Amino acid sequence: MSVRNLLSVLGLSLIVSVPPGAWSAGGVVKDPAGVAPDRYVYYPGTEALAREEIRLTACGTGMPASRHGQAAACFLAEFGNGDKLIFDIGTGSMENLAAYMIPYEYLDKLILSHLHTDHMGDLDALWAGGWTAGRPNGLKVWGPAGLHPELGTRAAMEGFLKFVAWDKETRSFQITPEPGEIEVVEFDYTIENQVIYEEDGVVVKSFPAIHTGDGPVSYVIEYAGMKVVFSGDTAPNKWFIKYGTNADLVIHEAFMVPADFVDWYNQPPQLAWRACCAFHTSGQAFGKIMNTIQPKQAVAYHFLNEEATRYNLYQAQPARGRRNRVGARCSATSPTPATGCRPTKPRMRRWTST
């Protein structure tokens, strides 16, 4: 029942009028019954990709403690050749990825930067969700080895399948077994600029990252003359400067300032500093890296995107503890630009080769 009909039943009347030339999100609405203008938000399935384009969507940009409004790390890369790659699948991100209504048969390639749960915690939802939603084949997962075999991606996926053994056995019997399989491509995390994926013009290369232990990597994605760099989790390092140059887009973490961890996570100051600045990248360091490698566009992620925390990455705020300041920052989910950045479409950005 429509709102108008419901109000009629209740004995109420509803009059809706749109003044001439009323503004909507993205332009002027000239006809209340016509086609709306282009919006600055993206509705899945409403924009075709040309052959030489890339669409990148942030499915999660937050922290291990995912929140209703912000999942942990996950980025979907869609290419004009039809290929789709998921970079990380952090806790809570599958809800956003599923909301795009992309058939699961196209969401079967997962590339992990490392094995922390805020980067792979929704693997179960991708695995089972695709199985029950009609994905005809198993998942294919790329990820780094570890210092020891039991710390690598292959061991992690084998352990996951043991964890879901009952689920896998019953679905295999009642539905079909093929979608429950996981094919693993594990590679040496110490090799610089190695090709770990190459198909129909899409090339993904890895290089080492520095984050809590041996294993994490960063990625370079190349397609149609364009270059995108995804840091995963890392402290500032020489490899990112070396391989992150000449990029059309850089997605790099910018962790919350130590005082925010003290205020909002109740952490002791020494641990708050270590989390921000020892095995992650601070807002100050993010700004320095971007000023050094000069990407055409940069996106900062891996912080709580909330009123109390988002601006402390680049503005000095009078609050408990010391605040960092960074001169240039762009966030896909917070389009207010700082020096040297331009606003972007919320959650989505498309690049075209020239």
Q: Which homologous superfamily is 40-352 in?
A: Ribonuclease Z/Hydroxyacylglutathione hydrolase-like (3.60.15.10)
How do residues 226-260 score in pLDDT, each as one tens digit?
Answer: 999 999 999 999 999 999 999 999 999 999 888 88
Q: 309-317: which pairs have CB atoms within 8 A and are 24 or more residues apart?
A: 309/256, 309/260, 309/264, 310/334, 312/256, 312/257, 312/259, 312/260, 312/283, 313/254, 313/256, 313/257, 313/283, 313/286, 314/283, 314/287, 314/338
pLDDT attached to residue 317: 38
Instruction: Say what the pTM is.
Output: 0.80
Q: How confident is the model at residue 332 (pLDDT cuts 50, 70, 90)?
A: very low
**Token representation of residue 269:** 């100051």
Q: Where are the alpha helices (DSSP H) in 113-164?
A: 117-120, 123-132, 153-163
Spatial distance between the Cα atoms of 296 and 280, rounded to a whole number of angstroms: 23
Spatial distance between the Cα atoms of 340 and 28, rounded to a whole number of angstroms: 29
Calculate the average pLDDT of the chain: 82
**Which range (22-26, 178-182, 289-293, 296-300) has the least confidence?**
22-26
Tell me the domain boundaries of the chain.
40-352
pLDDT top residue among 89 and 46? 89
How do residues 152-179 score in pLDDT, each as one tens digit?
Answer: 999 999 999 999 999 999 999 999 999 9
How do residues 32-46 score in pLDDT, each as one tens digit?
Answer: 676 666 665 667 777
Residues of the chain with pLDDT > 70, as a percent, come to: 77
**Residue 279 near residue 260 (C-beta atoms within 8 A):** no
